[in-house]
Chain A
Amino acid sequence: MQEPPIAAPRQSANILNSPRARVALTRTASLVVLVVLWQIMASLVHSRVLPAPDAVGVKLLEYAADGSIFFQTGITLARVAAAFVLAMLFGAAIGIALARRIRLDAFFDSWLVIALNVPALVTIILCYVWFGLTEAAAILAVSVNKVPTVATIVREGARAVDRELLQVAEAFALPWGRAFLRVYLPQLFPHLMASARSGLALIWKIVLVVELIGRSNGVGFKLGIFFQYFDIVSILAYSIVFIVIVLAVEMVLLRPLERHLSRWRL
């Protein structure tokens, strides 16, 4: 453990040169380049259909000041959350059930394949037609689109469950709930996480369509209105907020959760 005398200056240089810092720098630079390209394109085209980033920024601040953008995204977020929770719960339950019962799986497998291939728009229209233009129908339509994907991914995980560990729970006569939460579910975690990731990405997009077709508030509804008025600036302003929120959920919720639950693998 001999420290060379030049250690101190070299260390400060190391922080900038560390691989992580360089990656972060590259990511930031790429975002800046994107905005600059956008600005250049906008000034070249100089058209109503491609507003410049500064115009979009001003509009964004305006909506933020009157609070409308927070209200609308808040409503959309609530719908996303509800649909996400429902889809994860039912999808996981179905996936686990199918993995455990071979006959059940043989019977419902083709249903699952069909469900996976029903276009989202069809489910949405059918839900609205059958259950009316209600909040429940909207959330149901979104969840139904997602349940088959979750079920398929979780089924894969549940098939690969380690029976030897389940035997431990049985041999020590663990209460059912504890065996499920501490022995069974942790084995499904990578698959639950994968389906949560892909699920969130899908649900964000479908919620907007559901709002566009049958709701009178939310980001999707607002985008529809802006489209009718050809208000591209507002559409882009809303999109940016939306993208930022999606990234924030990924970075603030999903990644730390994943890191916490898989720390034993390190």
Chain B
Amino acid sequence: MTALTVDIRRKIYRQPGARAEHVALDGVAFTVPEGQFACVVGPSGCGKTTMLNIIGGLDRAFDGKVGFGEDGGAVRPRSAYVFQTPRLMPWLSVLDNVRLVLKNGATSAQARDLLVQMGLESTLDSFPNRLSGGMQRRVALARAFAIEPTLLLLDEPFVSLDLPGADHLRGSLLDLWQQRPTTVLFVTHDLREALQLADRILFMSASPGRVVLDFRVDLSRPRRADEPGIEAIRRRLLAEHPDLLAGLPPSTSAAEALEGAEPTRE
């Protein structure tokens, strides 16, 4: 486990040819103590993925600093990333996809155990394109936990799944996180999902993204998706910060079904 210190002063996209530059992030600063499950909630296009890519080391062209550990040093921890789409290598079997990311010398027995635990024992030698979308996401989750990350980044990993499928995977994620504690940063635009998962929620404004509210979730675990407590907090937040959360899609089942039909992308 590792603590995370984020201080992104500015992230600008320059379009070639266009004179105007797009400010994607403008003053995103927060710290996540080690072992915490933090969710980042914000409207589509507010720069959530951009922020996650910066923290994950995929984007180094920004003004600011990302630090790790108690001293906030720049040495990257063992971090894993679950993307919005599964992003498995189609030419590698399920088992090889997980083995791909293991450290040299790590035994494939670990990868196998993890996949078996996720209910994928019958598909170890299958290629990803023969798996359902939900199973592919499960492999992506197993791949992330296989390296025993001290920092786990997730970018709307359950978007475009049907409701029961997404719910099942959220359960798997919490199980894995409780067995293999790690610091988690989970990006979503679904407030209900965040309330079900997180110790703490960071709300981001519409573009250019900034953290506008830092909210602690004091609900006991395990939580059910349809728990009255979650709904109550959601109502309260929406009532107290109507303008703040205006950009969020209404978390009704109709809207979720609609999102399920077409994968959303930032």
* Chain A residues proximal to chain B, CB less than 8 Å: 164-165, 167-168, 170-175, 178, 182-183, 186, 189, 261, 263-265
Q: How many B residues are at the interface, by size bracket? A: 20 to 34
- Complex CA–CA separation, A164 to B100 (angstroms): 16
Asked if A182 contacts B92 (CB within 8 A), the reply is: yes
How near does chain A come to B159, taking the closest CB pair, in angstroms?
15
* Chain B positions within 8 Å of A182 at CB level: 89, 92, 100
Assess the A173–B89 pair: CB atoms within 8 A: no
Residues of B contacting A: mostly: loop
Q: B127 contacts which chain A residues (CB < 8 A)? A: 263-264
A-B contact pairs, 27 of them (CB 8 A): A164-B83, A165-B87, A165-B89, A167-B53, A167-B58, A167-B87, A168-B87, A168-B89, A170-B57, A170-B58, A171-B57, A171-B81, A172-B80, A172-B81, A172-B101, A173-B76, A173-B79, A174-B100, A182-B89, A182-B92, A182-B100, A183-B89, A183-B100, A189-B91, A264-B90, A264-B92, A264-B127
B-side contacts of A265, CB under 8 Å: 90, 129
A215 to B219, CA, bound (A): 84
Q: How far is the CB of A63 from chain B (nearest CB, A)?
A: 44
Task: Give me 12 other A-B pairs in contact (C-beta within 8 A), A168-B87, A171-B57, A171-B80 excluded.
Answer: A167-B58, A168-B81, A170-B57, A171-B79, A172-B80, A173-B76, A173-B78, A175-B104, A178-B100, A182-B89, A183-B100, A261-B91
- Whether a CB of chain A sits under 8 angstroms from the CB of B118 is no
How long is the Cα–Cα vector from A173 to B80 in the complex, in angstroms? 9
Restricting to B98-140, which residues have a CB under 8 Å from any CB of A?
100-101, 104, 127, 129
- B56 an interface residue at 8 Å Cβ cutoff? yes
How many A-B contacts if CB must be within 8 Å?
54
Contacting pair A171 B56 (CB below 8 A): yes
- Measured between beta carbons, the chain A residues less than 8 angstroms from B147 are 172
> Cα distance A178–B92 when bound, in Å?
13
A164 touches B58 (CB 8 A): no
Residues of chain A with a CB closer than 8 A to B53's CB: 167
Question: In whole Å, how far is B68's beta carbon from the nearest beta carbon of chain A?
Answer: 13
CB distance from A259 to the nearest CB of B (A): 13
Do the beta carbons of B101 and A174 come within 8 Å of each other?
yes
In the complex, B85 has a CB within 8 A of chain A: yes
A168: chain B residues within 8 A (beta carbon): 81, 83, 87, 89
The answer to whether B57 and A164 touch across the interface, beta carbons within 8 angstroms, is no
Contact A164 B87, beta carbon cutoff 8 Å: yes
Known: A171-B56, A171-B57. A186 touches B91 (CB 8 A): yes
Task: Give chain A residues whose Cβ lies under 8 Å from the Cβ of B79.
Answer: 171, 173
* Nearest-Cβ distance from residue A160 to partner chain B, whole angstroms: 14
Q: Name the residue among B56, B76, B91, B101 with the largest chain A CB count within 10 angstroms.
A: B91
Do A164 and B89 contact each other (CB < 8 Å), given the known contacts A171-B56, A171-B58, A178-B100? no
Chain B 125-169 against A: per-residue CB contact (8 Å), 1 yes, 0 no?
001010000000000000100010000010000000000000000
Most buried by B among A170, A172, A182, A265: A172
Interface centre among B53, B58, B79, B89 (most CB of A within 10 A): B89
